[in-house]
Amino acid sequence: MAIVLEDVSKTYEVKGRRIEALKKLSLTIEDGEIFGLIGFSGAGKSTLLRLINLLEAPSSGKVNVNGTELGSLSGDDLRIRRQKIGMIFQQFNLIESKTVYQNIEFVLKASRYDRKKTRGRIEELLDLVGLGDKVDSYPKNLSGGQKQRVGIARALANHPDVLLCDEATSALDPDTTKTILKLLKRINRELGITIVLITHEMEVIKEIADRVGVMTEGEIVEMDDVYSIFSHPEHDVTKGFVQDIYDFTIPPHIDVNERSEVITIKFLNEHAEANYVNQLYRHFECDISILNGRIEYIHDMPLGFLMLHVKGEPGEIIRLKGFIDESRGIERAGIYAKID
C-alpha cells in the first residue's frame, strides 16, 4: 500500500500557452512515511498534491493511492476515496462563522457520519490535538497555531490514511511551527497515517520528514532520506536549499592564499562529536582558528560543519588537508553553491 505516481504529466493551457506543471514524474511514497517535497514557487508542488487529492486528473500517467487507481473512480467511490485523504492548508481554511465544533461537524455531516457518534468523535479529535477547551470558540479568537490544530482535527475526522500538508506551517512563527510539526509527527507515528508535505523551507523538512524530494520545473531532481540530502546534496537546487541552513560564507576580512586557507569540514554521524580539532592542533604546525561551526541533529543523528582558518607553510597545509581527506567520517565540505 502506497502512493504511486507513474509517468505523471500535467499540462495547463493558458491563453494559447502550454504550461508543463509536471513532466513525466514518477514517485513512490511508502505507506506510513513522512515524505517532504521541497521546491521554489512554481516548481509544481501544489499541482502534485492536487493530483494525489483527486482534485485534478493528470494529463497523462497514473496516480494510485493505496491500491486504487484514481482515474478509475467516479461518483460515490470517488467521494468515499477522497474522504480517506485529509488535507491541511497554509491559511487553515476554517469557516469563520462556525465554532471549532461546527467546523469539524461540517465535514462529518458531508461524509454522512453516524450522528450519534459525532459529538464523541469531535471530542476525541480535539483531545488529540490538545484543544479540548476550545470546542465552542470561533476561529477569530484562536491563535494561528490553534487554528492549524483545528485544521488537523478536521482533516483527521474521517480516519484518513493519508494526510496532505500544503505549506501547513508557513504562516506560523518558528516556535509554533515546531509544536505543529511535533503534533504531525505524533499523528504519523501513533495513527500510522502517511504524510505528504510540501514546503519551501528546509527547516521543516529537517524537523519532520523521513524522505525528501527536491522539485524544480515539474520534475523531482533529487530524492533521498533527509540525512543524505543534508550531508551530500548533489543537485544545485538542493545545495541552495541546504545552504540556507548552513549559511557559511567566508568573512570578507579573511585573506585567502597558499599560506592562509579557509577549510570547511563536514563531520558525519558520531564523528561530529569527536575532538577532531584537537588532533589537527597536535599533528600540524599550523595556526588554526574557528570561523564558524554547527552541529545539526537530523533524526537524532549528528551532522557537523566546522569552518576553519588555517595559516602555515603551504606544504603543512597540504598535509593537513590530506589528513582530513583520509579521516573516517570526515570530509572537506567545500561551500555549497548558492542558487539565487
Which span (1-9, 14-22, 131-139, 143-151) binds ligand ATP, by CB under 6 A?
14-22
Nearest distance from C-beta of residue 248 to ligand ATP, angstroms: 27
Residue in 3, 38, 44, 103 binding ligand ATP, rule: CB under 6 A:
44
Cell of residue 223, nine digits: 530524492
CA dist., res. 16 & res. 315, Å (int): 63
Edge-to-edge strand ranges of the sheet holding 219-225 = 85-89, 162-166, 194-199, 34-39, 211-216, 219-225
CA-based nearest residue to 145, from 122, 178, 111:
178
Contacting ligand ATP within 144-163 (CB under 6 A): none
Asked if 30 and 1 count as a contact pair (C-beta separation under 8 A), the reply is no
**Torsion sign, CA atoms 154, 192, 43, 296:** positive
Judged by CB, which is closer to ligand ATP: 21, or 157? 21
Query: Given the DSSP bridges, would you call strands 17-30 and 2-14 parallel, antiparallel or unpaired?
Result: antiparallel
When asked if residue 12 is in the footprint of ligand ATP (CB under 6 A), the reply is yes
Other residues' Cβ atoms within 10 Å of the Cβ of residue 91: 13
For residue 14, the minimal CB distance to ligand ATP (Å) is: 5
| Nearer Cβ to ligand ATP (195/310) | 195
Q: Is position 41 an interface residue for ligand ATP (rule: CB under 6 A)?
A: yes
Q: Which residues contact 256 (CB under 8 A, 6 or more apart)?
A: 250, 262
* Residue span binding ligand ATP (CB under 6 A) among the ranges 11-19, 249-257, 318-326, 331-339: 11-19
* 220 or 272: CB nearest ligand ATP: 220
Minimum distance of ligand ATP from residue 37's CB (angstroms): 8
Alpha-carbon distance of 207 to 193, in angstroms, equals 17
What sign results for the dihedral spanned by CA atoms 36, 40, 44, 49? positive
Residue 57 lies near ligand ATP (rule: CB under 6 A): no
> Considering beta carbons, is residue 201 or 316 the nearer one to ligand ATP?
201
In the numeric block, which cell numbers belong to residue 38? Answer: 521541497
Choose between 10 and 147: whose C-beta lies nearer to ligand ATP. Answer: 10
Tell me the site size for ligand ATP, rule CB under 6 A: 12
Q: How far is the CB of 181 from ligand ATP (least distance, A)?
A: 18
Of the residues 3, 4, 34, 39, which one makes contact with ligand ATP according to CB under 6 A: 39
CB of 40 to ligand ATP, least distance (A): 7
* Least CB distance to ligand ATP at residue 21 (A): 3
Residue 205 CB, shortest distance to ligand ATP, in Å, is 14
Secondary structure (DSSP) of 145-160: HHHHHHHHHHHHTT--
Residues lying near ligand ATP in the complex (CB under 6 A): 12, 14, 19, 21, 39, 41-47
